Each structure stands twice: as structure tokens, then as C-alpha cells.
Amino acid sequence: MRVDTIARMCIRPHPKCKTVFSRYLSTESPKPFESVPGLKALPIIGVLHHFIPIFGTVGFQKNFFNMFDILNKKFGPIVKIDGIFGRGTMVVLFEPGDYEKVYRAEETNPLRPGVQALDYYREVLRKERYDGVYGLTSAQGEKWRDFRTKVNPALLKPKLVKLYAPGLEQIAEDSIARLLRFKDEPKEFSSEITKWSLESVALVGLGNRLGCLQDNLPADHPSQKLMYCSKTIADLMFKLEFIPNWNKEKSANFKKMMEMYDLQWDVSEMYINQAKKQIRERGHDVPDEDQSILEKLLAIDERVAVMMANEMLLAGIDTVAFTVTGLLYHLATNQEAQEKVRREIREQKSARYLKACLKESMRLMPILPGNLRQTSKEHVVGGYLIPKGVFAVTPNENLSKSEKHYVQAKEFIPERWLAEKSDPLYHGNTHPMVTLPFGFGVRSCIGRRIAELEIEIFTKKLLNTVRVTWTGPPLQVITKLMNEFRTPYHFKFENIV
């Protein structure tokens, strides 16, 4: 047999791989972006007619998961939405290989669009206050990269556990004592878990407790104002970002949002100034490993330090509260898994199974339904030419619950994160871009290590002495800007010491 014949046999792709190879290695000219299937806009009303209940292509949906599911079934792996939600054109990518290609090509200076109202507040309305330092939420390009470069060492250091664990353990104990007191009043859970989350993030971000777990907390206590701001901003964000308004900046909702940002800044600044005063009074002879995040950042750039502390108090409350609530729900409705976590805690083993439970819970109930980038250049994806300036969306929640990517995808099975490679459950059989609860690449969540630490400590403290059960219907997710749970909660806490 001739050598060239053997070579052709060796490199001939397997029939099952043909479609994969053709998708990514095709030499055909890309099809124009206008030919991508999806929701077409009409003059003046844009794509609103597609979301009319019953009659629209998509109809009214309570969350993005349902919306993306309908789009995927109707239009396939790539869907274009013309000018949705007051933004530019959006393309939804359902193939992990497609959005991996876009995300990796954009990794040098990735553009992740922020919240328009917050961008306006920082860059226009209160421009003089921020002086060009817009934080991780609003900054783009070199300003974002400069900010992230400065805060990375302080927030990603491995010794965070040693520094904050004792304080977080005490906060967890205080919070659990309150939960046990309200164990027959599910309506109190939301308030209590939010207070725990705020008290925890303040300890990490400022080095101090705020006192929001004290009894008979006054309605005008500064911590109450922060929690009120957090909830109100989340509600208004949905109305301002996703409901079209042709005169948005003069609307009552927009004015209310600016008031909330002012109040949140004022209260945060008060707490930050208190923390700065304590740091100054303590002096500079503090070992590096004992310096708080705020203290480290103040030594680098005071404007960056203040902004980072503010962002932690702005973005770190509801996100952690949502995530720990999802974890407790899955453990409450899967008692065998809860018992495994409890045995692991009591035998003082590493938290491998607890970490697997957290990963599995975030796979099923992520705080964000997907990830977003704005293209800074052209990309050829799935045979189409995607132009610069398009919003590329990855519906990770949908992919994470798909049988195409996970065995028993809608079941809570923490073992998939611990399984051997030979096991069909093994998570490594899935494309690594499918489940991204903390985002991807250099714009991934900087607070991941802190959030996981807070949740792990709280869950260990709780399950060591308390059995958690769920007494109501399945917990439902609704979407505003982020995912939220429909209340009331139906947890029951039973002391088992």
C-alpha cells in the first residue's frame, strides 16, 4: 500500500466527527450576519411584538431560562435578536465551542457591558466624585485592566482563609442562633440570610462588623439602608435595563435609581471612613498577613480602595445570599447528600463533598442565567460573520441543565464532581465552557474565593448541629437582572445536638 494512501486513511475523520470538523474547519465563505435566524425588529416597537403573551414568538416568560429554551428550539444553535432590551443587537450562542472561540479571541481586553443606569451615575451624574475610577462593574478597556491589576493581589491571596475565618465563624454562629429562633416563620429567612451575607461581606471588605445581626435593629440603622438599597436597585435594574423607555432619564424609576445609588454611596462611605480611621489609629506595624483587604488597597491607591469596598457592599450581598439559599434548598430536598456533608463535617475531613454540593447547586441555580461579551472585532462563528459591537450571550444555565451536556442533567448529583474518568457521570466529559457560575477568563468574578469561603463556613456551622428540611412546593427561579427566588421560603430548621 502506498504511503500517501495510508496517510489519507490515518487522517480521515470519523463519520460522527464530520459535523464537528465541518463546523469549525469549513473553508466556505461565512454567511452574512443578517441571515442568522432569530427575532426580527419592526420600526418603532423593535422586537416587543415577539414577547406578547400567547401571540408572540417567545411570549411572556418568568425567566431567561424559559426564553432561551424557546429560542433554541425555534431557531437552533445561533440566534440573533435585533436591538433587544434597549441595547444593540444580540446573538445567543448555544454551542460551547462557538462562544469559547469568541471569548478567547476577546480575552486581551474583554468588553462586558455594565448596568446602563450605574454607568450613567458614575460617569455622568457623579463624574466628579469618581474621578475616572469606575470600578470593576462599570469600567472597560485599560481603565478596567488597571483597576483589576491593583485589586487582584489583595482579593485573591491564598491567606484569606486564615485572616477572615475566625470572624466569619462567629458571624455564622450568630446568624444560625437567629434562624433557630425564627424556625417556624419561613418569611423571616430571606431577611436573616441577607443580614448574614451583609455582615460577612462587610467583615471581609472593611475588616469590621456592621452590627446588623443585633436584636431589635432600628429601621433607620445604616445596615438596614444598605439592604434596602440592594433590594430596590435590583428591582429597578430590571425595569430600566429590560423594559424599553424612550425617555428613560426623565422617568420616575430612573430618578429613584439615582437616589438609591446616592444613598448606597453615602452609607458605604460612612462605613469606609470609619474603617480607614481605625486603620490609621492602629498604625503601620501590622504584619502583611494580618492586613485587611481595605488596608492593603489603601497602601496602593486610596481611590481604588474606596471603590472596591463600595462595590463589595453593592454587589456582594444578594449574590451570596442567593447562592447559599440555593445550596440549602438542594441539601434540604436531598437528605442523603445533607447527611454526607454532616458526616464530613463531624469527622473533620476536607470539605470535598460540600464543595461538590456547592458546584452542583450553582450548576442548577446560578445567580446569572448566562455570560455576556460585546465583540470588539469580527468573528466567524458557526458559519456566520459576527460583526464588531454585537452582544454575544452564552445561556449557561440552559446548557448546564441539558442532557446533551450532563447525564441526568436536571438532577442534583454532587457525585458528578467527584467521579472518576471512567464514570459516565464524570463532569470532565462535558465541555469546560458549559458551566461558568463565576464567569470566564480575566473578567471572571473577583469575589469567588471570598464567596466560597463565606458559604462554606456558614454551611459547616449550620449542618453540624441543625437538620434542614423543605416543607413547601419546589423553589422557583424568576429573573430580574439576575436570578432570584420566588418567596416565601419553606425551610424548617431542627436542632439535632
User: Known binding site: residues?
Assistant: 445
* Contact of 122 with 130, CB cutoff 8 Å: yes
Q: Which three cell numbers stand for residue 255?
A: 430618578
> Using CA atoms, how far apart are residues 393 and 370, in angstroms rounded to an integer?
7
Strands 384-386 and 391-394: unpaired
CA nearest 249: which of 88, 113, 117, 118?
A: 117
CA nearest 475: which of 377, 365, 378?
A: 365
Q: Which residues does the annotation place in the binding site for heme?
A: 445
Q: Which residue has the cell 485572616?
A: 163
Q: For the CA atoms of the chain, what is the radius of gyration?
A: 24
Q: For residue 388, with 0-12 CB atoms within 10 Å meaning exposed, 13-18 middle and 19 or more buried, which class applies?
A: exposed
Burial 350-378, CB ≥16 within 10 A → b, else e: ebebbbbbbbbbbbbbbbbbbbbbbbbee
Residues recorded for the chain: 497
The CA–CA distances, whole Å, from 441 to 103, 107, 109, 121, 341 equal: 8, 7, 11, 27, 31
> Using CA atoms, how far apart are residues 486 and 216, in angstroms rounded to an integer?
26
